[in-house]
């Protein structure tokens, strides 16, 4: 059973029933799911959670629609691992990586889609759709295939070929738009007006979708032995993940499952699309939209819907937001792979490079514990690395040629 009570406007607090609303009728503010946490306190315990499945649905009581059968391809309960070799390179004491490459379709988006489509099914929808920078489209297409729904996923036409293939393979309709994600999003808002009977997971059922990101916070706390880390670094596109990670930690503290204070959250963006990092650095309240130009396509949202809430969260608790160039993104994909054996997509490079940047400028404390969220698998953005990650040498099939090459690479002693 769920302790969700309905929807609430994040601006004016007007409440709504748990239906297909997504914007406030009075102030047009975004809605979010509200819960009876006082009522949940007795039922939701460390023990009751630990008895749940090894997926996000172990936290079903704190999600909107666990129902009898949630749409569960197995999202979540991904490894949280101590990263000692990377910690040494970065000069930090306690570093953990939340390895969300290990999700059914290789990104954290499986969390939000699993929740969104479970709610969509309860609300009576039978078609899944989305506006996507790539990973969301893949996850929506996969989950829709899993429950036999048609899907319409809408992406920028020039996305990475691997991401397009990973989406199209599930057999839904994939529309490539000649434009940026922000053009795609605008189009989807128009489409919702025409096709209100389609569940656009991140538009007309966005309040439910967003809740899936809370499970990152829940898992981090549980996997650390019911303890909060001091600092968490979160990649930022629309800003939904960061604001809901904050919500997840706050709910766990309110439920008495962990002791506060909540961790300080830090954002991570690519300089080629850093509207939130820029507003934060300038002390601005208003986010100036940016036309994206970066290899981190999954984070390339120039006009982020949750931007103002991310700024509030960072400012309220002494956070910061990194902004890193493409060269450092590539360097840090390699650094993560070489030190920890994790191959991340470009967003993972953004997270690690931003972590390094914020340690260098002193906003992240290297003596306190840190969790970095690695949100997508490297196979999704192979294009970014194929030119530099290649064979060490091409040789004739002979022992002499092999020995020559190994000598050149100083793997055997020179004779
Ligand atoms: C979508 C995405 C994010 C963050 O998305 P938000 O819109 O900020 O919630 C982070 N990493 C990857 C790999 C993504 O696909
Ligand atoms: Zn309102």
Strands 4-9, 31-35: pairing is antiparallel
Examine the pLDDT at 68 and tell me if it is beyond 80: no
Give bridge partners of residue 377 from the DSSP assignment: 344
Examine the pLDDT at 69 and tell me if it is beyond 80: yes
Strand order in the sheet with 95-99: 80-82, 95-99, 370-374, 231-235, 264-270, 321-324
The ranges assigned to domains in the chain are 80-106+213-384, 109-209, 387-415
Q: Which of 217, 254, 207, 213 is nearest to 36 (CA)?
A: 254
The number of the ligand nearest the C-alpha atom of 8 reads: 2
Residue 1 has what pLDDT? 87
Looking at the CA of residue 240, tell me the nearest atom of ligand 1.
9
The number of the ligand nearest the C-alpha atom of 350 reads: 1
CA of 362 from ligand 2 middle (Å) equals 38
Q: Which of 32, 100, 108 gets mutated to test ligand 1 (max ligand atoms within 8 A of its CB)?
A: 108
Q: What is the mean pLDDT of residues 137-146?
A: 98
Nearest CA to ligand 1 atom 5: 237
* CATH value of 80-106+213-384 in 3.40.50.720, 3.40.50.20, 3.30.450.40, 3.40.50.1100: 3.40.50.1100
CA distance 377 to 107: 6
| DSSP per-residue codes, 169-202 | TT-SEEEEESS-HHHHHHHHHHHHHH-TTSEETT
Q: Collect all residues with Cβ–Cβ distance below 8 Å to 272 and sequence separation of at least 6.
A: 292, 293, 294, 295, 296, 300, 325, 326
- Terminal CA-CA length for the chain: 71
Q: Is 376 left (phi over 0), alpha (psi -120 to 50) or beta?
A: beta
CA of 284 from ligand 1 middle (Å) equals 23
% of the chain at pLDDT higher than 70: 100
CA of 190 from ligand 2 middle (Å) equals 22
| Residue 255: HSE in the Cβ half-sphere, 13 Å Cα cutoff | 28
Both tokens of 38, joined, read 């006082």
Strands 80-82, 199-200: pairing is unpaired
Assign 8 a pLDDT band (cuts: 50, 70, 90). very high
Assign 415 a pLDDT band (cuts: 50, 70, 90). low
Q: In the structure, which protein residues have their CB atom closer than 6 angstroms to any atom of ligand 1?
A: 107-109, 135, 235-241, 298-299, 345, 347, 375-376
Q: Collect all residues with Cβ–Cβ distance below 8 Å to 363 and sequence separation of at least 6.
A: 266, 318, 319, 320
Give bridge partners of residue 98 from the DSSP assignment: 80, 373
Residue 67 has what pLDDT? 82
| Predicted TM-score of the model (pTM) | 0.96
Q: Which of 75, 207, 215, 347 gets mutated to test ligand 1 (max ligand atoms within 8 A of its CB)?
A: 347
Assign 411 a pLDDT band (cuts: 50, 70, 90). confident
101 in Cβ contact with 72 (< 8 Å):
no
Examine the pLDDT at 128 and tell me if it is beyond 80: yes
What would the pLDDT profile of 157-202 be if each residue is shown by its tens digit?
999 999 999 999 999 999 999 999 999 999 999 999 999 999 999 9
Examine the pLDDT at 214 and tell me if it is beyond 70: yes
- Architecture of the domain delimited by 109-209: 3-Layer(aba) Sandwich (3.40)
Cα Rg for the chain, rounded, in angstroms?
22
Nearest CA to ligand 1 atom 10: 235
Assign 410 a pLDDT band (cuts: 50, 70, 90). confident
| Residue 148: HSE in the Cβ half-sphere, 13 Å Cα cutoff | 0
Q: Which of 342, 334, 351, 336 is nearest to 299 (CA)?
A: 351
Both tokens of 194, joined, read 């025409």
CA distance 61 to 123: 18
Examine the pLDDT at 147 and tell me if it is beyond 80: yes
Strands 151-156, 128-131: pairing is parallel
Peptide bond into 97 cis (omega under 30): no
Query: CA-CA distances (angstroms) from residue 86 to 138, 201, 211, 267, 362?
Result: 30, 36, 31, 19, 18
Looking at the CA of residue 380, tell me the nearest atom of ligand 1.
13
What 3-state DSSP class applies to 343?
coil
CA distance 274 to 276: 5
CA of 21 from ligand 2 middle (Å) equals 12
139 in Cβ contact with 162 (< 8 Å):
no
CA distance 156 to 135: 12
CA of 32 from ligand 2 middle (Å) equals 11
Residue 393 has what pLDDT? 93
CA of 408 from ligand 1 middle (Å) equals 42
């Amino acid at each position: 059973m769920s302790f969700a009570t309905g929807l609430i406007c994040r601006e004016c607090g007007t409440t709504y029933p748990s239906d297909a609303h997504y914007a406030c009728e009075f102030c047009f503010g975004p809605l979010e799911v509200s819960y009876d946490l006082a009522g949940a306190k007795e039922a939701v315990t460390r023990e009751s959670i630990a008895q749940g499945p090894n997926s996000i649905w172990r936290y079903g009581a704190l999600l909107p629609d666990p129902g009898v059968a949630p749409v569960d391809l197995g999202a979540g309960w991904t490894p949280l691992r101590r990263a000692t070799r990377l910690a040494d390179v970065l000069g930090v004491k306690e570093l953990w990586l939340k390895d969300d490459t290990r999700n059914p379709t290789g990104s954290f988006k499986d969390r939000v889609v699993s929740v969104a489509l479970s709610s969509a099914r309860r609300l009576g929808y039978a078609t899944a759709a989305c506006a996507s920078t790539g990973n969301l489209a893949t996850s929506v297409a996969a989950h829709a295939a899993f429950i036999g729904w048609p899907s319409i996923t809408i992406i920028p036409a020039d996305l990475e070929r691997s991401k397009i293939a990973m989406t199209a393979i599930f057999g839904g309709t994939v529309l490539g738009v000649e434009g940026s994600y922000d053009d795609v999003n605008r189009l989807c808002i128009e489409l919702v007006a025409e096709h209100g009977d389609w569940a656009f997971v991140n538009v007309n059922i966005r309040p439910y979708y967003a809740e899936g990101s809370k499970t990152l916070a829940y898992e981090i706390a549980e996997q650390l032995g019911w303890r909060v880390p001091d600092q968490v670094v979160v990649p930022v596109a629309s800003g939904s993940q960061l604001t809901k990670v904050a919500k997840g930690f706050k709910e766990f503290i309110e439920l008495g499952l962990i002791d506060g204070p909540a961790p300080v959250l830090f954002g991570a963006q690519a300089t080629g699309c850093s509207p939130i990092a820029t507003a934060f650095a300038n002390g601005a309240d208003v986010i100036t939209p940016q036309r994206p130009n970066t290899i981190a396509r999954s984070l390339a949202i120039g006009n982020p819907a949750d931007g103002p809430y991310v700024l509030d969260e960072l400012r309220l608790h002494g956070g910061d937001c990194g902004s890193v160039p493409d060269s450092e993104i590539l360097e840090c994909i390699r650094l993560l792979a070489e030190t920890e054996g994790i191959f991340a997509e470009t967003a993972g490079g953004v997270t690690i490079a931003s972590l390094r940047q914020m340690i260098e400028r002193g906003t992240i404390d290297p003596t306190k514990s840190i969790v970095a969220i690695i949100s997508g698998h490297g196979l999704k953005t192979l294009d970014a690395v194929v030119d530099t990650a290649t064979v060490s040498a091409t040789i004739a099939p002979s022992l002499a040629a092999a020995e020559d090459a190994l000598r050149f690479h100083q793997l055997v002693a020179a004779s």
